[in-house]
Structure 1
Amino acid sequence: MAHHNIPSVKKLLFAFLVPILIPATSFSANPIRLPRGNSSWSAYANELALRILKVTENHKAPDKIEWRAEYQAQKRQIRNVSEGIDFDVIWTMTSTERESHSNPVHVDIFKGLMGSRVFLIRKDMAQKFANIKTIEDLKKINFVQGQDYPDTPILKSAGLTVHEGDAFGDMIEMIRHKRADAFPRGIPEPLIEIDMFHIDQDISLENHVMISYEAPCYFFFSKKDPTLRERFKKGFEIIEKDGSFDRIFNKHFANVIKKINVTNRVIFHINNPYLSEQSKEALKSQKLWYNRGTLDPKKMIALPTVSTEHREN
């Protein structure tokens, strides 16, 4: 019998496994799941994340990126990334509550811009806002903010009247139908939103007043797997040194900052009582913040904290 020509079981297994063990392109084991939206500030966050991944990539096992739609409520995004569901990294404004669930890198990706809040208003309200000079004037305004936005408790902590809404469009309708007077937006947001949602028929950017508070926006990760967070932490150090952080930031926001005309506004400052100790420490050393280098503290009108009862759920 000529069974000496039959390949051994070991040889057959080896021949079968080789194509799997040595693929043509050896990508990293798991794709990195990132959120993608259609706004300019989402494009900025995505470009920054890709740059960080590029400068920290293992070239023997290149990253595979998987884009996921970012349109989830903010609380749901935080919950999902903390559990490793849908996203491996998200970007959002921080709070003590959010940091208790997920693990951020404490570098503000917007360098303070999101804490510089200008208003979307009805066009027929322009003169009323132009007359705002004092805290008493500001407290006569009815604001609207998202019910799961960290900004909502910050504004309420200063004694301001804040109505809560759900989606962006719903809050614009509240302005339009006089159920609220102003929708505070971070500097990167309102000009794009007016154009993107075609609301300029009766809604405009208010030109005289601004509210300022420390509102760092971080990349957040699951606490269950610190590896990706450590890559981003290292990546920030690299892109700060090589100048690409500044280049990407200026590419997206230099013109927007000029159009917003911050220096000629009446600026009211609110202390943010919802920052974690880690965020407070990070703010002491960070020199990246736009509003720290541009806004004159002597010209700010400080609103005292009157309430911290409103908490995130």
Structure 2
Amino acid sequence: MSLRRRELLLSSGAVPLLARAQPRRLRIPHVSAKADVQRSYPALLLEQALAAAGVPATLEPTTELIPQNRALQELGRRRRLDVLWTMTSVEREQQALPVRLSIFRGLFGWRLLLATPEVAQRMSAVQTLSELRRFSMVSGHEWPDTGVLRANGLDVVVSPSYDAMFKQLRLGRADAFPRSVEEVWWELERYGQGLVVVPNLCLHYPAAVYYFVARDEPQLAQAIETGLLRLRANGAWERLFERHHGEDVARAQFGARKVIELRNPLLPPLDELDLGSKSPG
């Protein structure tokens, strides 16, 4: 069934769901250094989507930070988690059941670069992917971003520690750290001593962050999808997105930057994807 057909059916309420008298307790991972995961955009959107589908829920984040790949394991074999959100890939869609609606509307594929002022000055003149390959990038050991960067011929310095990545830049062990618009300003304020956002330049590649549930939870996946489509139809999704990300997108000034396009070989076939409609200007 096409996405448009599903939108019409689900937003109209034509597909029945199992309503619950009591809120369902859903365990979610603490996957970000940002402290209040329950009030984060993905958590709030998930709550609103389930409420719109008639399946209210209370979200319970883990107390410790959980790396993305480990979170997928907890979702499947160990069942310590019920829902997570992460960038999709062929491998991840084999491990868990995706809700194929891009919750960040493609925004995670738009990357600004953190660097020292000296490196940033040199990088600001980059015009082509070939020129970008003269610089090294730092990235996480199990992050999908690492595979994307390497697939495009970029030199990647892999770090097992999130905190250490910023230190790698200051020590000159890597030149730049590609970060999404949703992350970069927050990180610059808290971890970016001695670092700046590279002017005049950004990276872009197709990317979709989806909600994932265990493969034996199709009803939960259907409820999330139904709620998201209803929020999209009534404008609530757009309002929540703009409230959380509108200022960050405006600050990035994408229209004034040279965009270096990268391919993303980790994705499922593009005709199976919902990459969102957000195109920063």
TM-score normalized with structure 2 length: 0.86
Instruction: Give, in whole Å, the separation in 2 of the partners of 1:189 and 1:65.
Output: 22
- Confirm or deny: 8 A CA contact 1:115 1:186 kept in the other structure: yes
Matches within 5 A, 1:1-313: 27-28=22-23, 31-36=25-30, 37=32, 39=34, 42=37, 43-58=40-55, 63-69=57-63, 71-83=65-77, 85-197=79-191, 199-200=192-193, 202-277=194-269, 280-283=271-274, 288-291=276-279, 294=280
Q: Which residue of 2 aligns with 1:15?
A: none
Deviation of 1:96 (Å): 0.6
Task: Tell me how far 1:38 sits from its aligned partner.
Answer: 5.7
8 Å CA contact 1:41–1:189 kept in 2: the answer is: no
How far the C-alpha of 1:84 sits from its partner, in A, is 5.4
Unaligned runs of 5+ in 1: 1-25, 296-313
- Offset of 1:154 from its aligned partner? 1.0
- What's the CA shift for 1:40? 8.6
CA contact (8 A) 1:122 1:203 kept: yes
- Give the deviation of 1:116 after TM superposition: 0.5
Post-superposition CA distance 1:55-109 (Å, at most 9, x none)? 1235xxx534323236111110111112352210001111111111011111111
Gaps of 5+ in 2: 1-20
Q: List per-residue Cα deviations over 1:10-35 (Å, max 9, x = no partner).
A: xxxxxxxxxxxxxxxx625x521123
Which residue of the partner structure matches residue 309 of structure 1? none
Distance 1:41 1:209, change over 3 A: farther
Q: Secondary structure at the match of 1:91?
A: strand
Moved more, 49-58 or 91-100: 49-58
Amino acid at match of 2:198: E
Q: Distance in 1 between matches of 2:64 and 2:268?
A: 25
Alignment deviations for residues 168-197 of structure 1 (CA, whole Å, 9 cap, x no partner)? 211111111101000001111110111233
Identity over aligned pairs, percent: 27
Conserved? CA contact 1:146–1:167, under 8 Å? yes
Cα deviation 1:267-297 (Å, max 9, x = unaligned): 11112111113x54234xx6x4223xx46xx
Task: Give the whole-Å Cα distance in 1 for the aligned partners of 2:28 and 2:183.
Answer: 21
Is this contact kept in 2: 1:40–1:252, CA < 8 A?
A: no
2:201 maps to amino acid: V
Distance 1:103 1:40 in 2: 27
1:105–1:220 Cα contact (<8 Å) kept: yes
Secondary structure (helix, strand or coil) at the match of 1:290 reads: coil
Question: Contact 2:47–2:57 (CA<8 Å) still a contact in 1?
Answer: no
Instruction: Tell me, yes or no, if the aligned pair for 2:33 and 2:65 is still in contact at 8 Å.
Output: no
Aligned match of 1:301: none
Asked whether the 8 Å contact 1:89–1:221 carries over to 2, the reply is: yes
SS of equivalent to 2:65: coil
Larger Rg: 1 or 2?
Answer: 1
Letter of the 1:129 counterpart: M
Structure-2 change in CA distance of 1:159 and 1:41 (3 Å): farther
RMSD: 2.1
Equivalent pairs, count = 259
Deviations 1:113-135 (A, max 9, x none): 10001111112222101221223
Aligned equivalents of 2:271, 2:155: Cα separation in 1: 26
